[in-house]
Structure 1
Amino acid sequence: MTTVQAIRTFFFYLLLSSSSFFWCILCVFIAPLLPFRARYRLVIQTWCRCATWLAKVMVGIRYEVHGLENIPQQPCVILAKHQSTWETFFLSAFFEPLSQVVKRELLYVPFFGWAMAMLKPIAIDRSNPKAALKQLAKQGAERIEQGAWVLIFPEGTRIPPGQIGKFSRGGTALAVNSGLPVLPIAHNAGEFWPKQGWAKYPGTIQVVIGPLMYAEGEGPRAIAELNERAFNWVSQTQQQISGIPTQLSPLDEPSAV
């Protein structure tokens, strides 16, 4: 990373953190007065759009979206590749309203966590996988009935470019049991916003929204088959985007969802 890019990255983080702090303080007092959809637009969508805009103008991270025609009119379960923080910002702004599976500990962070708690996240305890799966099944179905998309990173953690983590079956189980399809999403955000370190590299992120995938039947076998199809599509699409053979990550961590 050049000296100029390092300076731009420093100011990017300065603006991002300061805007997050003041925005969360403001939203803690205003958001409770708003209905859920308006609350989501204020707290999450507006700030996440600001974050992706800052990434564009400050460090040169742009993006292109392919497959918009695959997005259904009704919310469903989104299974997205996880490489960086960028896709969390992007997807939270792009799909509205959206309920995301997060670590329960995040809700305890002053102001940021308090603001997030008002947006109906599915906050799980990753140390208790069985309880987390039951919670995802129950609350995920509730969120979809309430008209929200449910975002799941099935790898459970951020995986570097060129690698892919095993997909947990929590997302496909939710889709099958709710009678809904899954919407797979692949991207290469990690090439410009790496998992490790604070460096940011200019370039254009390719986001590919895949075709809706429906289960063939019901029960555990249908869940496993749908999960494998989603995994294969994301893996193959990642390779097409990056031109790097996608390998199963040796850093893969077990995850309930």
Structure 2
Amino acid sequence: MPTVSAAVAALEAAYPPALAQDWDAVGLVCGDPAEPATRIVVAVDPSPAVVEEAIGAGADLLVTHHPLLLRGVHGVPADEPKGSVVHRLVRARVALFAAHTNADAAAPGVSDALADALGVAVEGPLDASSGIGRIGHLPAPESFEAFVARVEQALPTTAWGVRGAGDPARTIARVAVSGGAGDSMLGLVRQAGVDAYVTADLRHHPADEHLQRPGAPALVDVAHWASEHPWCAQAADVLRGALPDATVTVSTLRTDPWTLGAASRNPVKRGTP
């Protein structure tokens, strides 16, 4: 019978904890390693709704990308949001495991899953010093407008939507991607020789300053959750390969925090009134 410890071993082989940033909190959050793991659910966030989904599915283990206890805590009382999740998991005998920045840096990892979802053939990392992000190429060049549509069609729908910054007619052949918040790597993107960069949580000032530089790659901004959701299928495949007797499913819940959005599909030229 597959166990929690066997699932953890498979996940840590694919996403080594040593790759995690020193501020991160990865690994087994709660649960008994010796307990069975016959049903496993994979999700981006360990949110209450996802926990209830896992419990309703009869899961023994919930695997998430985002950690539950990322920042230091001094207790997990049941009347606090994170404490409530811990108590719900323990009472239902569901273990929780997180693979965060170690999954970002692993190869294949979060950005490989994003690139694959977009049809981008990976050539190598965007940040070679930490293995974060990926650089690759499209099957054939296409316009930036078509590329933004490609991203929109490939990722789960969110209220945040998909936003493109650049000339709609610009030709896109080589692409950089980074799951999660990626504006800290805009400098690397400009050195990478790519035509567009897909990431999440781009802020106004870094994006504006980037676009002011001659020849800067076009930008595609998506919801943080949507950029990392393709990883769930990748992690599920890791578990299915290592634990063939376990049932592994990917959460169907959208846990992006934004619930309302309205955006024009018509291109808007920068600087127009």
Q: Which structure is richer in relative contact order (CA contacts within 8 A, separation 6 or more)?
A: 1
**By percentage of residues, which structure has more strand?**
2
**By percentage of residues, which structure has more helix?**
1
TM-score by length of 1: 0.26
TM-score by length of 2: 0.25
